[in-house]
Structure formats: C-alpha cells, structure tokens
Amino acid sequence: MKSKKISSLKIISSIKEMQKISLNIRKKDTHKISVIPTMGALHEGHLSLIKKAQEKKIITIVTIFVNPIQFDDKKDLTNYPSNLKNDIHKLKSIGVNYLFTPNIKDIYPEGYKTKVVVENLKNHLCGLKRPGHFDGVTSVVLKIFNITLPHKAFFGEKDLQQLVIIKQMVNDLNLPIKVISHPIVREKSGLAMSSRNLRLTANGKKIAPFIYRGLVEAKKEFKRNNKITVKKIINNLKKYYAINNIKHIDYIEVINPRDMSYPLIPRSGDYILTAIKIGKIRLIDNLKF
C-alpha cells in the first residue's frame, strides 16, 4: 500500500497513484489543483506559501523531494536538513490535502536520460556558481507538474532566478499552469527564512541577518540617488558586509527580473541579489528597488 491517511492529509509516494488522483480531480471539474514543490524541512516561509494556495474549491498538493541532480556539491546534498515527521505535522495542522513524497528511483529510474534546459537565463548568478543546478531544478519541476497536473504552482521569491526560469519554461513549453510567486518571509532579525538556516552556527546566526540589512542599505542608497551606478552600489555593499564580518561573497548583482539583464544604472523595479557563505552555509537573498 503506497498511501496512508493521517487526518485530512493523504500521503502519496506512488507516481501513478498521484497522477490518477490528479486526473480524477480534473475530470470532476469541481475543484482546481494547486501544487507547492518543496525539498522539505518546512518553515514559516513554506507555510505562508501553502496558505496562499489554499482558496475555495482548491485541492492543495505539497511535494517533498530532495532533488539530487540540482546539487553541485555532494556534501550539501548529504547535509540537507530533513525531518519528514515534523513536516507532516505542519502540513496536517494547516489542512493540506495531499503530500507527494516520491522515491528517487521512481523519479530517476535506471536509464533516465532527459533534462530540461532553459538556455541563457541559467547562465547567471547561481547558475555560474552552481553548474547544472537549474537544469536539475527545471527537470524535476516539469516532472512534478506532469505528475500532479496543477492549475496553479506556487514558488517563493527568495529564489528569484529560479522563479524567472520556471516561468520561462512554463511559457516556452505552453504549459497550462499559472505560476504564482510569494514575497520572502523573514525571521525577526530580517534573515530570509531558509531550511539551510538550521545549519548555521551560533556565530553564523549573529552574522547572517546583516545580509538583508546590507540590501536595505543599498536600497536606501538608490532611493536617495536614482542616478547612482550599480558598480557604486555593489562596492558600498561589499564594504558594509566586510565591516559586519561577512567575508565570503559569491556574488552581488543588480538585475532586471524580466530578462536577467544587468543594468549599469538601476531602475525602480530592478532587484539586488546576493549569495553569501556564512561558514559552510550558502544563503541567498534579494530586495526589489
């Protein structure tokens, strides 16, 4: 038996069973399906995303799958936090209908050869620092879409580049799915909520909030002088980070989110994005100008 019911939450691990359930929901045409893909270790950011998806006559499907092909670092994959029992409790408490937790061997069976590649957009920011990452993301997200057959899919804005790439994939492949984004949910300190925050040391937890505080300072600088160059904003932010013991910067960039282009002079609506390593933990964040 590949599914079990815990209160109103039904847990599915079989791809065929999940597809069958989704097909039946679509045939009845009384409810629509919203899917929220995750890798587990659920936090308040995930839960707010799920709550946004929960409307009248909506069936919510949360997926938990730690996707091995999007990790460029095997240690990062091995150390990725996981607590399925705790995740189930959280999903049950907010009334999620289905949890889909497929096995790796079912998602990537022997002989699997296909990847979904969104050109150009992946060759920036995290894509440069993590080769193959976004190919892994788009491949698994398309599989999740094909299994859960959603009308809507929900993603957080913390992974802004991922969001832009998934929207491009949906558009290019004519998928009948509406991709909906949700603003970053933050801890009281301002740190963007992330499953990786669980791995921060005590000292790392003191330093990490300065990632966001630095972005806020950069935005203030732009608001004071809308003719300031991106180069100056980035240089000033690097100085701010250095003063606050942030030493390992993967990147700081300002981008136009529509096409991932790099303006010389930022405009209202552009985003400043950064990826920072606090110890061994890589954290990303962004802020809209």
DSSP-derived secondary structure letter, 13:
-
- Asked if the structure places residue 187 within a domain, the reply is no
Q: Answer yes or no: do 17 and 129 share one domain.
A: yes
Given 144, 161, 182, the domain boundary residue is 182
Please give the full DSSP string across 177-214, using - where no structure is assigned: -EEEEEPPPB-TTSPBP-GGGGG--HHHHHHTHHHHHH
Same domain for 176 and 210, yes or no, is: no
* This prediction's pTM: 0.93
Among the three residues 182, 205, 232, which one is the final residue of a domain in this structure?
A: 182
Q: How many whole angstroms from its chain centre is CA 224?
A: 31
Number of residues assigned to the chain: 289
Residue 118 shares a structural domain with residue 210: no
Please say if 182 is a catalytic residue: no
Give the model confidence (pLDDT) of 219-272 as tens digits.
Answer: 999 999 989 999 999 999 999 999 999 999 999 999 999 888 999 999 999 999
**CB 229, CB 221: distance < 8 Å:** no
Examine the domain organization and report whether 251 and 162 are in the same domain.
no
Question: What is the pLDDT, as a whole number, of residue 73?
Answer: 84
Q: Are residues 38 and 169 in the same domain?
A: yes
Q: What is the pLDDT of residues 156-206, one digit of tens each?
A: 999 999 999 999 999 999 999 999 999 999 999 999 999 999 999 999 999
CATH code of the domain in which 178 resides:
3.40.50.620
Place of tokens 């935005």: 219
DSSP label of 38: E
**Pairwise CA distance, residues 126 & 109, whole Å:** 27
Sole residue written with tokens 């997200």: 141
Out of 31, 43, 46, 248, which one is annotated catalytic? 46
- pLDDT tens-digit map of 38-82: 999 999 999 999 999 998 899 999 999 999 999 988 888 998 989
Assess whether 151 and 199 both reside in one domain: no
Residue of 113 and 127 predicted with greater confidence? 113
CATH number reported for the structural domain that contains residue 235 in this entry: 3.30.1300.10
Per the structure, how many domains does the chain have?
A: 2
**Residue 58's closest CA among 151, 149, 120?**
151
* Domain extent at residue 235: 195-288
Question: Is 163 part of a structural domain of the chain?
Answer: yes
Give the angle 261-265-269 at the CA atoms, nearest 5°. 65
CA-CA distance, 127 to 133, in Å (whole number)?
6
219 and 283 co-located in one domain: yes
How far CA 152 is from CA of 21, 47, 90, 91, in Å, comes to 16, 16, 22, 19
